[in-house]
């Protein structure tokens, strides 16, 4: 099959992560994956949800949204609908649990790291880009606590990245843009650590089924892609922060 910009089936779209994109948060990035662009910020707050008060344990919580002009037709803001739609809730929960899975929450004390992912331009893969970008913002925010001697060690145990994969006309491809995603027979989002461990595998047959061999092909593609994204995350964070992750 022919892909945009003559990408191969195994090739990610061009990915760029710009650190310190916003000056006020404790960590912030703009992540660009092809035409998809997401601003991810991390802010540390010295309090936790009520269910964690007095436990000495921290929390990581995520919010996700798409600005009205991020899609071809204007997307109504959730505040104007007086509710968060189901897709938004699903994505922000995915982001939150993906990041919590690699952080020793007791080590950050009774603090909450707020992750905000705002999609400013959407062309497929917004949730996976949000996870990949927000990890960098979170790592920077938590490292600042460590560097300022507010916590005893760097509690981030692994890198986290995510990528979409899918089946179109019997072929496994990686990092689907919107056009590919909307026509895929099978759609899957995979979240992984740099140690090759899976955090989440979301796979669906869109009016189609897939075989065990298809699944293995998709997982193999995602593993390769996530390794590439981990490498970029390391480069963007630099040795000072990357060297402390997983120690």
3-class secondary structure, 232 = helix
234 is in an annotated binding site: no
125 is in an annotated binding site: yes
13 is in an annotated binding site: no
**Interatomic CA distance for residues 229 and 12, integer angstroms:** 9
- Degrees (nearest 5) of the Cα angle 100, 229, 23? 65
DSSP track, 144-199: HHHHTTSSSS--B-S-EEEEEEEEETTEEEES--HHHHHH-SEEEEEEEETTS-EE
3-class secondary structure, 28 = strand
3-class secondary structure, 93 = helix
223 is in an annotated binding site: no
Which residues define the annotated binding site for phosphate? 87, 125-127
Which residues define the annotated binding site? 87, 125-127
């Amino acid at each position: 099959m022919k892909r945009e910009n003559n990408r191969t089936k195994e090739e990610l779209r061009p990915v760029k992560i710009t650190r310190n994109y916003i000056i006020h948060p404790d960590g912030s990035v703009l992540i660009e994956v092809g035409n998809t662009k997401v601003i991810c910020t991390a802010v540390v707050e010295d309090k936790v949800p009520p269910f964690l008060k007095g436990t000495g344990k921290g929390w990581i919580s995520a919010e996700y949204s798409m600005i009205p002009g991020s899609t071809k037709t204007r997307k109504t803001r959730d505040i104007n609908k007086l509710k968060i739609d189901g897709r938004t809730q699903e994505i922000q929960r995915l982001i939150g649990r993906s990041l919590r899975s690699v952080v020793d929450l007791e080590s950050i004390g009774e603090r909450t790291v707020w992750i905000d992912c705002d999609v400013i331009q959407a062309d497929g893969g917004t949730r996976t880009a949000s996870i990949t970008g927000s990890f960098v913002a979170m790592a920077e925010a938590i490292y600042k606590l460590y560097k300022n001697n507010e916590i005893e060690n760097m509690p981030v145990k692994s890198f986290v990245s995510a990528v979409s994969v899918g089946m179109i006309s019997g072929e496994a491809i990686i990092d689907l843009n919107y056009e590919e995603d909307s026509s895929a027979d099978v759609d899957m989002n995979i979240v992984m650590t740099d140690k090759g461990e899976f955090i989440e595998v979301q796979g669906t047959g869109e009016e189609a089924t897939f075989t065990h061999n298809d699944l293995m092909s998709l997982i193999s593609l995602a593993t390769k892609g996530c390794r590439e994204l981990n490498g970029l995350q390391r480069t963007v964070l630099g040795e000072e922060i990357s060297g402390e992750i997983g120690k």
